[in-house]
């Protein structure tokens, strides 16, 4: 799973969000390291929707702007959980080889 | 709807003139996206782009730095829009290519495609039964059912029997593993290996050669056994299984009664070679045919199955004549096997099917309607 996909699913794991909300949340989650832009975000959402990991939720108009909310599906939650397990296992191995205390980072 | 009109005079942090230029640029870049994506997401994306631009505009910095920051972010957003369009179009292209590879050579008419898919299950199964008949296994099963003691399994094979004996299991296993193209090629090899042009006018060889050819066409030109199994009902599968056993048990090994001197045929016992056997075979074939007439896909399955079964009819009428008149080969009462008699009618039928579907397709294209009406596909009940 690519990092933007991982971060988008992580943002949606907390609840349904609209496009700009996802972008802001991803920046927050990655501690400012990743800034998603509209082109990347909507290309990723398009793919995630096609893969059944994300679905459209409600729509609303705020200050004359259309906001469509997206939510993570059960399939997306399972994929994210699997990725978390994979990253955690890899991190544990790396930490133990580096001799970090307790094998955790 | 334009955001400019909506936001005119509002303190969004982006001056109105700049907002107009930005929106024009965004809309131009959004034309790079597929129409469906644009229809669904364009307004939403512009909203997100302006929300981000407004957040950038609120950053406090000396004027030249702020200008450089804003311009840099806008250029980056524009470049990202182009990259996003390229990603989406690239993915769509990949899907189309994969779809084209998957569906290449597959018959377009869904009813014929489904019929071939069902045949891709039945034909390898019948071919396997024919191969097992080389070892007298179905005959032994049939004998045990009828109480005839003459059939015993054998491990002795002639060199000419090897292509079928080895090819049929290979086709069945590859089809089972969903490797339909490889299975189709194995079926072609099995057909060629049996040497239909050697001049030997055997209905049994014609049956298995044409069955291998039908299996190859079905495996290569249809979505394959997965789709075929999904279409087969339980009753249809049971009837086909019974038909396979009877064809294998009572007819595929039939060269024994046909090629032998008259006395030998009588010695086999009436259960297998007599009129009850003929009637049983006829009953199963009629039952399969009647069951197949119920649905459009089943009718096509019947037409395709008829291709290999036609030589079997020659075999059957020889057997019937033999049973009625008490002599192997039926003496003068039967029509003797010959290569044209065995191969021409099936080839003519195949030609009629191909020509018929071609004409139907041309007519549908001329009338601007699909070759087959869309709708629920019929399950195969026989």
ipTM reported for the complex, 2 dp: 0.84
Residue range A56-82: average pLDDT?
Answer: 88
Nearest to B325 by CA among B256, B255, B285, B278: B278
Q: State the smallest CA–CA distance between residue A64 and chain B in angstroms.
A: 6
pLDDT at B374: 40
pLDDT at B170: 93
pLDDT at B277: 62
Say yes or no for a CB contact (<8 Å) between B48 and A64.
Answer: no
H helices of chain B, where?
3-7, 16-30, 35-57, 63-103, 110-134, 137-146, 162-176, 180-193, 203-221, 225-231, 234-246, 255-259, 262-267, 270-273, 275-292, 296-325, 339-367
Q: Is the dihedral of CA A10, A16, A18, A24 positive or negative?
A: negative
pLDDT at B305: 84
| pLDDT band for position A39 (cuts 50, 70, 90) | very high
Contact A95, A103 (CB under 8 A): yes
pLDDT at B353: 87
- Return mean pLDDT, chain A: 88
The CA radius of gyration of chain A, in Å to the nearest whole number, is: 16
- Return mean pLDDT, chain B: 74
Indicate whether B373 pLDDT > 50.
no
Please give the interface size between A and B, counted as residue pairs whose CB atoms are below 8 Å apart: 68
- CA B156 → CA B119, B152, B241, B364, B367, distances in Å? 30, 12, 26, 54, 59
Nearest to B236 by CA among B174, B297, B195: B297
pLDDT at B227: 87
Rounded distance, CA B259 to CA B255, Å?
A: 5
Indicate whether B258 pLDDT > 50.
no
Say yes or no for a CB contact (<8 Å) between B52 and A43.
Answer: no
- Quick count: other Cβ atoms within 10 Å of Cβ B232? 22
* Share in percent of chain A as helix, strand, coil (round to 5): 60, 20, 20
Mutate to test the interface with A, among B51, B75, B95 (most CBs of A within 10 A): B51
pLDDT at B269: 35
pLDDT at B331: 47
More confident residue, B107 or B9: B107
Say yes or no for a CB contact (<8 Å) between B45 and A46.
Answer: no
Q: Which residues lie closer than 8 Å to B322 by C-beta, 6 or more apart? A: B257, B258, B265, B273, B328, B329, B330, B334
Residue range B236-251: average pLDDT?
Answer: 63
pLDDT at B226: 86
Say yes or no for a CB contact (<8 Å) between A64 and B80.
Answer: no
In this complex, which of A39, A65, A68 lies closest to B80 when CB atoms are compared?
Answer: A39
Indicate whether A8 pLDDT > 90.
yes
| pLDDT band for position B252 (cuts 50, 70, 90) | very low
Indicate whether B264 pLDDT > 50.
no
3-state secondary structure of A62: strand
| pLDDT band for position A13 (cuts 50, 70, 90) | very high
Residue range B116-138: average pLDDT?
Answer: 84
More confident residue, B326 or B40: B40
Q: Could you report the per-residue pLDDT of B35-49, keeping only the tens digit for each?
A: 999 988 888 899 889
In this complex, which of A20, A38, A63 lies closest to B77 when CB atoms are compared?
Answer: A38
Note whether A32 contacts B: Cβ–Cβ < 8 A: no
Q: What class, spelled out in words, does domain A3-95 have in CATH?
A: mainly alpha
Indicate whether B187 pLDDT > 60.
yes
3-state secondary structure of A60: strand
Residue range B172-198: average pLDDT?
Answer: 84
Which of the given ranges, B204-218, B237-251, B272-286, has the highest pLDDT on average? Answer: B204-218
Average the pLDDT over each of A85-99, B60-74, B163-177 and give the range with the smallest value: B60-74
In this complex, which of B47, B80, B87 lies closest to A37 when CB atoms are compared?
Answer: B80
| pLDDT band for position B6 (cuts 50, 70, 90) | very low
Q: Is the pTM of this model over 0.80?
A: no
More confident residue, A45 or B231: A45
Q: State the smallest CA–CA distance between residue A59 and chain B in angstroms.
A: 10
Supply the DSSP string of B261-272, one letter for each residue.
-HHHHHHT-HHH
Q: Which helix or strand (DSSP H or E) is residue A18 part of?
A: strand A17-18
More confident residue, B334 or B4: B334
**Chain B residue with the nearest C-alpha to that of A62:** B47
Indicate whether A78 pLDDT > 50.
yes
Contact B130, B207 (CB under 8 A): yes
| pLDDT band for position A22 (cuts 50, 70, 90) | very high
Percentage of chain A modeled with pLDDT above 70: 95
| pLDDT band for position B268 (cuts 50, 70, 90) | very low
Query: Which chain A residues in 10-29 lie under 8 Å from chain B, judged by CB atoms?
Result: 19-20, 23
Domain residue limits, chain B? 3-102, 108-367
Say yes or no for a CB contact (<8 Å) between B37 and A46.
Answer: yes
pLDDT at B255: 37
Residue range B315-336: average pLDDT?
Answer: 60
> Cβ-count burial of B54 within 10 angstroms (0-12 exposed, 13-18 middle, 19+ buried)?
middle
Rounded distance, CA B22 to CA B46, Å?
A: 10
**Chain A residue with the nearest C-alpha to that of B73:** A37
| pLDDT band for position B90 (cuts 50, 70, 90) | very high
- CA B155 → CA A25, B10, B134, B147, B248, distances in Å? 72, 92, 9, 22, 17
What one-character DSSP code corresponds to residue A32? T
Nearest to B47 by CA among B1, B16, B11, B10: B1
More confident residue, B240 or B20: B20
Average the pLDDT over each of A61-70, B171-180, B235-244 and give the range with the smallest value: B235-244
Average the pLDDT over each of B91-105, B272-286, B324-338 and give the range with the smallest value: B324-338
Per-residue HEC secondary structure of B341-366 comes to HHHHHHHHHHHHHHHHHHHHHHHHHH
Percentage of chain B modeled with pLDDT above 90: 13
Q: Which residues lie closer than 8 Å to B339 by C-beta, 6 or more apart? A: B199, B201
């Amino acid at each position: 799973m690519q990092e933007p996909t991982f971060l988008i699913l992580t943002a949606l794991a907390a609840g349904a969000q609209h496009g700009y909300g996802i972008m802001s949340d991803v920046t927050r989650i990655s501690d400012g390291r990743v800034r998603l832009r509209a082109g990347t975000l909507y290309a990723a959402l398009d793919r995630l929707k096609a893969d059944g990991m994300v679905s459209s939720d409600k729509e609303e108009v705020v200050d004359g702007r259309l906001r469509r909310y997206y939510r993570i599906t059960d399939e997306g939650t399972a994929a994210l959980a699997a990725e978390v397990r994979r990253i955690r296992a890899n991190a544990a191995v790396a930490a133990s080889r580096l001799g970090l205390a307790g094998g955790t980072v | 709807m334009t955001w400019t009109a909506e936001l005119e005079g509002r303190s969004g942090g982006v001056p109105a003139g700049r907002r107009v230029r930005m929106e024009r640029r965004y809309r131009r870049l959004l034309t790079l996206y597929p129409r469906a994506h644009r229809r669904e997401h364009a307004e939403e994306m512009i909203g997100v782009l302006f929300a981000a631009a407004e957040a950038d505009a609120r950053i406090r910095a000396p004027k030249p730095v702020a200008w450089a920051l804003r311009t840099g972010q806008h250029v980056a957003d524009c470049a990202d829009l182009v990259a996003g369009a390229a990603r989406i179009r690239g993915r769509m292209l990949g899907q189309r290519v994969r779809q084209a590879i998957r569906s290449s050579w597959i018959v377009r008419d869904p009813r014929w495609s489904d019929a071939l898919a069902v045949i891709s299950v039945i034909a390898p199964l019948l071919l396997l039964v024919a191969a097992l008949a080389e070892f007298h296994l179905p005959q032994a099963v049939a004998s045990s059912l009828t109480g005839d003691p003459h059939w015993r399994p054998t491990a002795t094979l002639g060199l000419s029997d090897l292509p079928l004996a080895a090819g049929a299991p290979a086709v069945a296993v590859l089809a089972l593993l969903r490797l339909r193209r490889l299975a189709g090629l194995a079926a072609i090899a099995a057909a060629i290996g049996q040497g239909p042009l050697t001049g030997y006018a055997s209905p049994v060889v014609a049956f298995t050669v044409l069955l291998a050819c039908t299996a190859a066409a079905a495996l290569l030109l249809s979505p394959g056994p997965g789709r075929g199994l999904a279409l087969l009902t339980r009753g249809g599968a049971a009837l086909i299984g019974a038909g396979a056993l009877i064809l294998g048990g009572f007819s595929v090994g039939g060269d024994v009664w046909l090629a032998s001197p008259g006395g030998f045929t009588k010695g086999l016992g009436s259960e297998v070679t007599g009129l009850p056997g003929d009637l049983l075979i006829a009953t199963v074939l009629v039952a399969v045919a009647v069951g197949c007439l119920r649905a459009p896909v089943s009718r096509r399955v019947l037409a395709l199955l008829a291709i290999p079964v036609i030589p079997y009819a020659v075999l059957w009428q020889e057997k019937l004549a033999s049973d009625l008149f008490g002599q192997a080969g039926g003496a003068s009462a039967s029509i003797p096997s010959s290569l044209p008699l065995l191969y021409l009618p099936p080839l003519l039928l195949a030609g009629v099917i191909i020509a018929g579907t071609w004409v139907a397709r041309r007519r549908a294209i001329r009338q601007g309607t699909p070759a087959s009406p869309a709708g629920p596909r019929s399950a195969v009940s026989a």
